[in-house]
């Protein structure tokens, strides 16, 4: 099951993102991530995340999201998990 995780950073949280980025990338590489990358503002600055998880069910996606180092560090203002179907 593919789940799209869309997360927006808290205002003025860029330093949290920078400090936690290596742990977050290691977590992405070690888990069932299909695609991932940062959301960007008009100037190209990182302001959130889009991650497509390949997991068994929504409960697994919720567990993955809770264990993401970014989430544990308190980076995100909000996170949504939505079932997603790849067409192209």
Residuewise pLDDT in 10s, the chain (88 residues)? 999 999 999 999 999 999 999 999 999 999 989 999 999 999 999 999 999 999 999 999 999 999 999 999 999 999 999 999 999 9
Q: What backbone phi and psi angles, to 5 degrees, belong to 75?
A: -70, -40
- The structural domains of the chain, ordered by start, are 2-83 (3.30.70.1060)
Q: What share of the chain is helix, strand, coil (3-state, %, to 5)?
A: 35, 40, 25
pTM: 0.92
């Amino acid at each position: 099951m593919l789940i799209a995780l869309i997360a927006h950073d808290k205002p003025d949280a860029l330093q949290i993102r920078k400090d936690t980025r290596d742990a977050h990338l290691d977590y992405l590489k070690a888990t069932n991530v299909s695609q991932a990358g940062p959301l960007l503002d008009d100037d190209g600055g990182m302001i959130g995340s889009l991650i497509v998880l390949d997991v068994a069910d929504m409960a697994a996606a919720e567990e993955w999201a809770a264990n993401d180092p970014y989430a544990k560090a308190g980076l995100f203002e909000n996170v949504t998990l939505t079932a997603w179907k790849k067409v192209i």
